[in-house]
Structure 1
Amino acid sequence: MEFSKIISVTGKPGLFQVISQSKNAIIVESLADQKRMAINSTQNVSLLENIAIYTYEEDIPLLNVFKAIFEKTGGKEAISHKESGKKLASFFAEVLPNYDDERVYTSNIKKVIQWFNILVDAKMDFSAIQEAKEENTEEV
């Protein structure tokens, strides 16, 4: 599973892996139940690798946030995204201490933690992603 092929679709719960593309649709597979479906070109789709979290210095790519959570949890699931807003904010502050709490809302934190837990359930190996990125960097 490649992180660069993981997407979120507006109006659909969970995360999806892009399998194929056609002229008018994207064929995706749900990470939760492995069911495939077509997402037409009028639906809003976000690649997770294009999402970043606001901090006071710079925007941090979502992958880096996931890696920090992965290290903190030891590769296990994080706390539930259904916890109280204070618990979620406290956990997120431990992972990303300089996040901009005025622009990163509790709903954003819930979504990040929910996505992380989905990816851990789907056996995403965040340490392997880092190695692949480093290999690509060396070749350039």
Structure 2
Amino acid sequence: MNLRGIVSVSGKPGLYKVIGQNKSGFVIEGLDAQKLKLVVNLSTSKLASLEDITVFGEDEDLKLVDIFGRMKEGANVPDAKADGKALRAYFRDVAPGHDEDKVYASDMKKIINWYNILKDLPVFEEEAPAVASEEGKE
């Protein structure tokens, strides 16, 4: 799964793909059917890259990419509007070891919404690009 360049913008629903950068911020494009393009000013909005997002864990934080992978393998993703108990039961399966005191129902709903946006896109099936190693540069 290649989540590089996919971001969430504070105060805006949905997910976006970074397509460029200018002096005032980033040019982003919505991942929905409208393909709306926006310029996001970094002084007024926050961007969160999905490949960098983690979920609180009991021992160590869980990567969102790993949670999406488990969601993809399993079936029956609950509706994001399901009650908190159903979401919590589902998250015990796809994110074992998440900290139940710090991960709220709103967080689980957001992750399910993001999954539903991404699951039909080509980036969901792509392999993540390999990180260049420092050893090869010498």
Moved more, 27-36 or 118-127: 118-127
* Whole-angstrom distance in 1 between the partners of 2:45 and 2:57: 29
Tell me the TM-score normalized by structure 2.
Answer: 0.85
* Whole-angstrom distance in 2 between the partners of 1:136 and 1:67: 23
Moved more, 82-91 or 118-127: 118-127
Q: What is residue 56 of structure 1 aligned with on the other side?
A: 58
Using a 3 Å threshold, how does the CA distance of structure 1 residues 126 and 102 change in structure 2: closer, same or farther? farther
Query: Which structure would you say has the larger RCO, counting Cα contacts within 8 Å and 6 or more residues apart?
Result: 2
| Identical-residue share of aligned pairs (%) | 34
Number of aligned positions between the proteins:
133
Q: Compute the displacement of 1:55 (Å).
A: 1.3
Gaps of 5+ in 2: none
Question: What SS does structure 1 have at the residue aligned with 2:79?
Answer: coil
4+ long deviations beyond 3 Å: none
Judge conservation of contact 2:2–2:126 (CA < 8 Å) in 1: no
Gaps of 5+ in 1: none
Give the structure with the higher percent helix. 1
Tell me the TM-score normalized by structure 1.
Answer: 0.84
Q: Compute the displacement of 1:136 (Å).
A: 5.6
Using a 3 Å threshold, how does the CA distance of structure 1 residues 37 and 2 change in structure 2: closer, same or farther? farther
CA RMSD after TM alignment: 2.2
